[in-house]
């Protein structure tokens, strides 16, 4: 089968300690401290063969390019990747995918050949203390599709059935496989937003105002979820006009360029001084936005930190104390019904993430697609083995 394989040089920075078992597997807890000089190539790999008893084999229909995929290719001044997350190369990248089941393991009960499915990127063990306490995204023995084990930028992908979710209801809504698979590939980024906004931080009361900082794919998903949850005003603070337009299509009532606006003053004026019930950080630019986030919060406001940025940012804790505000760190999308609830919202028409898809590339053009994603003008760019 054809697949895009990422390679990079294993070169821990001076002073970084690596466990011997991680070095043996080339498994980096924080890739930005370990891997440099990344490269990608389209390769011919062995077909997946028969699934293990607990696995399914999927023929990939679509796979989205995430900011994390871009960070695997982007490097700093010392040529280290800027991804502050797990990575083990060589690896087939891509974790936002959907596909059709073409083979089913002997112990699999919930799926049959021909089903359309998507899968969780985070492969939790279910046995460690974190998992047993309900923190699947913080699993002590975590593996990540497209990061540490082969993912979806390929013609086929092998996945344990327990991480898969059916898209058959999405197919019923849209009526054709192509659209259902494209929308289904959006399940992962929408579930990341859902985890931060609702599972981790507990959501907001319908009628409250929501501010989303960053209009990339997860920011757009946050806008759509805020609308579905009954926000009265939805601010999307995004410098690029193209992305502000997409946000407004998905439900933003105010698309605003934060580089040309005093965010706190604007929110205060538009909410008559009440501020927002929830701010969702999706820009991955903490130093630039945290002061604006604090200034926009209302009494009892919540901050869901969904974007990732290894740089420190200053928090003015007195603001949080006086407003009884809360900040929630969040990563991932596993457990607590994130995926099934997102899929139900898609199947019911409460959210329509097809509006967020702006371009499609064949698998052979992945590097070009990543370069296009780096411009941060598009919504979601999909890579498809068959165009």
Distances (CA, A) of 164 to 110, 170, 343: 9, 14, 12
List 32, 39, 41, 71, catalytic entry: 71
Instruction: Using the CB atoms, write b or e for 253-284: b if 16+ within 10 Å.
Output: bbbbebeeeebbebbbebbeebbbbbbbbbbb
Q: 290 with 320: CB under 8 angstroms? A: no
Q: Which two tokens stand for residue 318?
A: 């007195």
Q: What string of DSSP letters covers 53-93?
A: TTEEEEEEEEEEPPHHHHHHH-B-TTSBB---S-EESSEE-
Q: 235 with 276: CB under 8 angstroms? A: yes
List 39, 41, 68, 187, catalytic entry: 68
The helix/strand/coil state of 307 is coil
Instruction: Please name every residue paired with 60 in a beta bridge, in sequence order, or none if there are none.
Output: 99
Instruction: State the Cα–Cα distance between residues 88 and 144, nearest whole angstrom.
Output: 9
68 catalytically annotated:
yes
- Angle (CA) 293-120-381 rounded to 5° is 65
Q: Count the alpha carbons within 13 Å of 310 in the hemisphere toward its beta carbon.
A: 12
What is the rounded radius of gyration, in angstroms, for the C-alpha atoms of the chain? 20
The residues annotated as belonging to the active site are 68, 71
């Amino acid at each position: 089968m054809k697949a895009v394989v990422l390679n990079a040089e294993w070169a821990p920075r001076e002073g970084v300690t690596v466990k011997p078992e991680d070095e043996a597997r080339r498994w980096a807890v924080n890739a930005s401290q370990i891997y440099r000089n990344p490269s990608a190539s389209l390769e011919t790999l062995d077909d997946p063969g028969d699934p293990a008893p607990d696995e399914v084999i999927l023929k990939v229909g679509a796979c989205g390019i995430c900011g994390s995929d871009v960070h695997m290719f982007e490097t700093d001044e010392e040529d280290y990747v800027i991804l502050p997350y797990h990575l083990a190369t060589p690896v087939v990248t891509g974790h936002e995918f959907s596909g059709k089941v073409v083979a089913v393991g002997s112990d699999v009960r919930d799926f049959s050949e021909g089903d359309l499915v998507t899968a969780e990127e985070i492969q939790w063990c279910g046995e460690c203390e974190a998992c047993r306490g309900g923190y699947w995204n913080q699993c002590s023995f975590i593996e990540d599709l497209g990061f540490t084990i082969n993912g979806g930028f390929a013609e086929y992908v092998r996945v344990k059935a327990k991480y898969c979710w059916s898209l058959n209801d999405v197919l019923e809504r849209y009526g054709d496989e192509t659209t259902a698979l494209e929308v289904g590939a959006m399940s992962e980024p929408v579930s990341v937003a859902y985890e931060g906004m609702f599972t981790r931080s507990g959501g907001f009361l319908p009628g409250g105002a929501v501010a989303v900082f960053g209009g990339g794919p997860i920011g757009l998903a946050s806008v759509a979820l805020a609308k579905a949850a009954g926000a009265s005003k939805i601010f999307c603070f995004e410098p690029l006009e193209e992305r502000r337009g997409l946000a407004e299509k998905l439900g933003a009532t105010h698309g605003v360029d934060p580089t040309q606006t005093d965010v706190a003053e604007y929110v205060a004026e538009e909410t008559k001084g009440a501020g927002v019930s929830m701010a969702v950080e999706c820009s991955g630019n903490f130093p630039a936005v945290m002061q604006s986030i604090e200034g926009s919060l209302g009494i009892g406001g919540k901050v869901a930190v969904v974007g990732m940025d290894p740089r420190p940012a200053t928090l003015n804790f007195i603001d949080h104390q006086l407003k009884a505000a809360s900040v929630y760190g969040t990563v991932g999308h596993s457990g607590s019904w994130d995926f099934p609830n997102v899929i139900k919202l898609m199947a019911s028409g409460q959210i329509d993430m097809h509006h967020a898809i702006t371009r499609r590339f064949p698998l052979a053009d992945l590097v070009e697609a990543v370069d296009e994603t780096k411009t941060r003008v598009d919504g979601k760019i999909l890579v498809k083995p068959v165009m």
